[in-house]
Amino acid sequence: MKIIGRKEEQLDLRDYAEADRPDFLVVYGRRRVGKTFLIREFFDNKFSFYTTGLAKANKEEQLQEFNRALNKYGDRIYDVAADWFTAFHQLRDVIESSKTDGKKIIFLDEMPWMDTHRSGFISGLESFWNGWGSGRSDILLIACGSATSWITNKLFRNLGGLYNRVTKRMYLAPFTLAECEAYYAEKGVVYNRQKIVESYMIFGGIPYYMNQVERHLSLSQNVDRLCFRTGGALIDEYDALYSSLFEYPEKHMHIVKALSEKAIGLTRSQIIDVAGLANSGALTKTLNELEDCGFIRKYYGYGKKSRDAVYQLVDFFSLFYLKYMNNRKHLDEDFWTGNLQSGQINAWSGYAFEQVCLSHVRQIKIALGISGISSSVYSWRSKTAEPGAQIDLVIDRRDGIVNLCEMKYSNHEYTITKKYDAELRHKRSAFYQETKTRKTLHNTFVTTYGISHNEYRGNIQSEVTMDDLFQ
């Protein structure tokens, strides 16, 4: 299958491969997002050396796997190294004896798994790069892994021999809606844009999940087959996802579970109360790891300080799993198809669509014609208004405008009723009074099919539709 999207990444990879300089490139991102696929397909598997770390394996097993790759690419047989210093010295020998012209591309996939407890892997890597690789203009070392917290702590924030040695970073994000549309088209899956959005609400633009979709089935049939039927390909994915990234995932999963039950997110103190965790440095580390891996986001309310930060679960599959799949044993195997129009799923769809929009703020700005205007993005919740008031997306612009964004999912044009118009006026008034802003406030709607024209439509200054999110 050809590479879909990733245009900027492909341009960067071409530059790294052709540049007359040594490069240490780190490719990171969430599990199943397509990191290995991108590197292998772009370089057509033409590496001077390629190996991958083994999940849950010990030092000896990792070195044995490394040795198998050495013997594949080298021109002689190497003994299994007793330590990583020796293994990397053997790798140096393999590359120096290589007869290929041009850049020597070394791809170490799932590098975090190679670094087992007290294995000396990082020291061996430091010696290999600092003592040899960084001095050769024909070397491109690519490290890849899903354990983003390991990559951040051991490579990006390394205060030892690898300090500031990573020359390039490439974060591979989930597909955008536009990339999902292109991916499904390449697979021969025919869905309209609303179905692609619904797919995003569940699979979150993760290529591996989307690749499980069968083109002869409807989206709801695929969801049942993958997520609710015995033997479904994604039945055990949730546990595998967290256990593959974190050595001790229990705390991470407790926090994710707590956040899944509060759509607007929780503060640190609320997480402590709900998840029953101690207020310690260990909690900070766990929150940072979840944020680094893209499962949660840390955001600040309009005008709030850092101590008021709110954590929100933003991994679509985790949200879907904890909302529905976690209780699948009590559900029918055709649960999704049979309940599409239920109030429960309609309520979830509204929240999930908000998350889709928050994942496509860049596209919203383009649609509003403000992509070239400096702006900040916040959420806002009133402390004093009765009844309460909340705005999940506030775009505060340098040109004197603040967009107060409402995000609404509907199967047709969204109709603003008299009651809802009063609610919008209440929110706007509360925002103005509490923030004391002097900027002009624009009510902005992000909907699937736009807003129907009635007497209240005139109170909306700008709107963005589902099609705009596909830019």
* pLDDT tens per residue across span 27-82: 999 899 999 999 999 999 999 999 999 998 999 999 999 999 999 999 999 999 99
pLDDT at 215: 96
Phi, psi for 16 (deg, rounded to 5): -65, -40
pLDDT tens digits, 8-30: 999 999 999 999 999 999 999 98
Per-residue confidence band for 246, with pLDDT thresholds at 50, 70 and 90: confident
pLDDT at 463: 96
Q: Name the token pair of 66.
A: 């490394």
pLDDT at 79: 97
pLDDT tens digits, 381-419: 888 888 889 998 999 999 999 999 999 999 999 999 999
Q: Is the pLDDT of residue 188 over 80?
A: yes
Q: Is the pLDDT of residue 232 over 90?
A: yes
pLDDT tens digits, 331-382: 788 999 999 888 889 889 999 999 999 999 999 999 999 999 999 998 888 8
pLDDT at 292: 85
- Go through the domains of the chain in sequence order and give each one's CATH number: 7-171 (3.40.50.300), 177-228+331-352 (no CATH), 239-321 (1.10.10.10), 361-470 (3.40.1350)
Q: Work out the mean pLDDT of the chain and round it to a whole number.
A: 93
pTM: 0.92
Q: What is the CA radius of gyration of the chain?
A: 25
Per-residue confidence band for 1, with pLDDT thresholds at 50, 70 and 90: low
- Provide the CA 321 distance to its chain's centre, in angstroms: 16
pLDDT tens digits, 276-315: 899 999 999 999 989 988 899 998 777 666 667 889 999 9
